[in-house]
Amino acid sequence: MASTTPIDSPPPMQAPPVAPQQPKPAKTGRAGDKVFLALSRGSGILLLVIMASIAGFLTYRASIAISKDEGNFLTTFDWNPAGDPPVFGIAVLLFGTVVSSVIAMVIAVPIAVGIALFISHYAPRKLAAPIAYVVDLLAAVPSIIYGIWGALFLVPYLEGLNLWLDDYFGWTYIFDKTEVGVARSLFTVGILLAIMILPIVTSVSREVFLQVPRMNEEAALALGATRWEVIRMSVLPFGRSGVISASMLGLGRALGETMAVATVLSPSFLISLHVLDPGGGTFAQNIAAKFDEANELGRDALIASGLVLFVLTLLVNGAARLIIARRKEYSGANA
């Protein structure tokens, strides 16, 4: 992450970053080339083999579990593979995973863009670098620590916010709090996930904003635009695709978060749109909670749910790749 990319004197009409530099002919003979080719090709193939075997393993074990499931794997609101008959379904998990991630995105993306703009365009240079480092440090905190912090500190302090939301926004249905209880809800999980995905979204957005061609900004300034107008007219349009792909990376992270969710959420197998009520569950949290005491079928069932998460994450990453590819020449978002 070269946070100090010099933007003082970019060449006019910036060329695509992958400038086709002519490789120098190797003078030391062709053996090195061959070895390097074999190594890099081998690594590439190895990656594909690993991914394929993970997918194969998941599919095989999942098919065993689903064939023994007496409920509907997609629509059942229960998780009891040890029962007689075994019944389990992913509806609640899919819903909880998506809802908590969406809440995280809604909170994190505007804040991350704000931080990135502040660092790249507003802050005095002396302040910008430390802020960038502090935000990046958030990524170094282990997720179980977020979980403990969330359960012991965040949850009690969110009770006031919950009551306030219930009082003034209860009419939205979503913020209507129908059950008493501390804030061990999907909403709290969303806030926690937002904090956790802030570093990746911020740092990728920052990189993109730093790559806005200087000429565009200067042209806008020359026309008499204020700083905000410069940002609105040249920085944000230029960075849009980068911010979107940064958000997708953050979303991918939020979807798979395990320990923090498992510690903070009060899981139950019910779907409720009242996000302030305790309840719900996510794929990763459910796997962590149920793995210990699971029997053979229980583990296969968890693996089946893992396959669904795998597919979901694949879709998100695929979407991110597509967006990056669409405006490849600008994006610095290859993190």
Q: Where are the alpha helices (DSSP H) in the chain?
A: 31-68, 91-117, 125-137, 143-149, 155-169, 186-210, 214-222, 227-230, 236-256, 259-264, 283-290, 296-326
Could you tell me the smallest distance in angstroms from the CB atom of residue 105 to another protein?
A: 25
Site string for another protein, 91-130 (x = CB under 8 A): ------------------------------x---xx--xx
Residue 212 C-beta-side C-alpha neighbours within 13 Å: 26
**Per CB under 8 A, 178 contacts another protein:** no
Could you tell me the smallest distance in angstroms from the CB atom of residue 78 to another protein?
A: 9
- Tell me which stretch binds another protein (CB under 8 A): 61-69, 131-139, 244-252, 309-317: 131-139
Coil, helix or strand at residue 280:
strand
Site for another protein in 217-236 (CB under 8 A): 217
Coil, helix or strand at residue 67:
helix
Binding-site member from 44, 83, 160, 237 for another protein (CB under 8 A): 83
Could you tell me the smallest distance in angstroms from the CB atom of residue 181 to another protein?
A: 5
**In the complex with another protein, which residue's Cβ is closer, 66 or 297?**
297
Coil, helix or strand at residue 278:
strand
Report the distance separating Cα 131 and Cα 124, nearest Å.
11
Binding-site member from 233, 271, 294, 297 for another protein (CB under 8 A): 294
CB 221 within 8 A of CB 230: yes
CB 317 within 8 A of CB 308: no
Q: List interacting residues with another protein (CB under 8 A).
A: 3-8, 79-80, 82-83, 121, 125-126, 129-130, 132-134, 137, 140, 151-152, 156, 179-182, 184, 217, 262-263, 265-268, 270, 278, 289-290, 292-296
